[in-house]
């Protein structure tokens, strides 16, 4: 991720736009190496906020936190970022934080978007650590999916075929029931672009759900989706990806969509004049 220049440029632009008040108080949750914290400190200095605004960061994994301190010191920012070796739900306003934060920056996203405890983290932050109606980077995310036919991907789930190579020779699938009980549903995070020749698309991309970082999220939500197929075939997998809207103005996007989606002209997928503004080429299989 640190070598993903497109992602880092997008975050820097969005942070520069969000940290526009000299007295802004910024909180970086899951600081990692401190990259977003340093971007925030630099943005705060650019608007004359040094001495009035503040940047606080938390990183609970101690070895990473030690690296964060080293990175901050190497870049001359050890006095511009307050770093806490704690989880965000262990922070308290009036103890670690002088006051609720006006701006939240974070990159605790996985290939499914929400898998790294994002919902409870944001719930607690909105309840206890942030002002009402804070600025957030990212601002919003949308997940998409697409039905595909792919014997290659199907074999990754096929218990019967995998049993054929089992060293102990024990078969768990009764004869004649392979098509009923042989499929074990799994999820895989992987690069999808190299699999393009192994995939036949059976639907257009469809929107799964939207997630707003600037509001307290719900714990449970369900969406019922009717998907129209574009051809005959067997749906072996669903490929999913997400698109981040990093700024509230809707001008900075970052996508993990596979390249065949970026090359299409889907109306409701955000694009810029040069195509996808940013891309990580990483998606998720179900």
pLDDT at 114: 84
**What's the angle, vertex CA 40, arms to CA 39 and CA 46, rounded to 5?**
90
pLDDT at 266: 41
d(CA 103, CA 115): 23
pLDDT at 283: 46
Is 210 annotated as catalytic? no
pLDDT at 243: 94
* Structural domains of the chain in order of their starting residue, each with its CATH number: 5-137 (3.40.50.150), 141-285 (2.70.160.11)
pLDDT at 254: 93
Per run of 10 residues, the mean pLDDT along the chain (length 286 residues) is 89 96 96 96 88 93 95 95 96 96 94 86 97 97 94 70 57 58 60 86 94 90 90 90 94 91 53 35 46
Hunting for tokens 């509001």 — which residue is that? 215
Of these residues, 112, 116, 163, 204, which one is catalytic? 116
pLDDT at 162: 57
Q: Are strands 206-212 and 283-285 parallel, antiparallel or unpaired?
A: unpaired
Is 215 annotated as catalytic? no
Hunting for tokens 């975050």 — which residue is that? 11
Structure tokens given for 179: 């098509």
Q: Do residues 54 and 117 lie in contact, with contact meaning Cβ atoms separated by under 8 Å? A: no
Which helix (H) or strand (E) element contains residue 40? helix 35-46
Structure tokens given for 170: 């024990």
């Amino acid at each position: 991720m640190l070598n993903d220049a497109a992602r880092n440029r997008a975050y820097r632009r969005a942070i520069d736009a969000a940290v526009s008040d000299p007295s802004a108080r910024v909180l970086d949750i899951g600081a990692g190496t401190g990259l977003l914290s340093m971007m925030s400190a630099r943005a705060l200095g650019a608007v004359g906020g040094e001495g009035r605004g503040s940047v606080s960061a938390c990183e609970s994994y101690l070895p990473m936190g030690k690296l964060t301190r080293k990175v901050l010191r190497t870049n001359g920012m050890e006095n511009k970022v307050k770093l806490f070796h704690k989880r965000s739900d262990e922070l308290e306003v009036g103890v670690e934080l002088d006051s609720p934060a006006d701006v939240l920056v974070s990159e605790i996203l996985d290939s499914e978007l929400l898998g790294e405890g994002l919902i409870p983290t944001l719930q607690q932050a909105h309840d206890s650590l942030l002002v009402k109606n804070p600025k957030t980077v990212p601002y919003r995310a949308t997940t998409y999916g697409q039905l595909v036919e792919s014997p290659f991907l199907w074999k990754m789930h096929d218990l019967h075929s995998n049993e054929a190579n089992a060293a102990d020779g024990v078969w768990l699938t009764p004869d004649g029931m392979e098509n009923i009980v042989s499929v074990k549903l799994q999820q895989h995070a992987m690069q999808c672009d190299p699999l393009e020749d192994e995939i036949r698309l059976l639907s257009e991309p469809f929107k799964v759900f939207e997630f707003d970082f600037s509001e307290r999220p719900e714990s449970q939500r369900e969406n019922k989706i009717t998907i129209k197929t574009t051809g005959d075939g067997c749906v072996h997998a669903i490929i999913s990806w997400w698109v981040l809207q990093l700024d509230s103005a809707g001008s900075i996007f970052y996508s993990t969509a596979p390249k065949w989606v970026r090359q299409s002209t889907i109306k409701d997928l955000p694009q810029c004049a040069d195509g996808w503004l940013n891309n990580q080429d990483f998606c998720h299989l179900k």
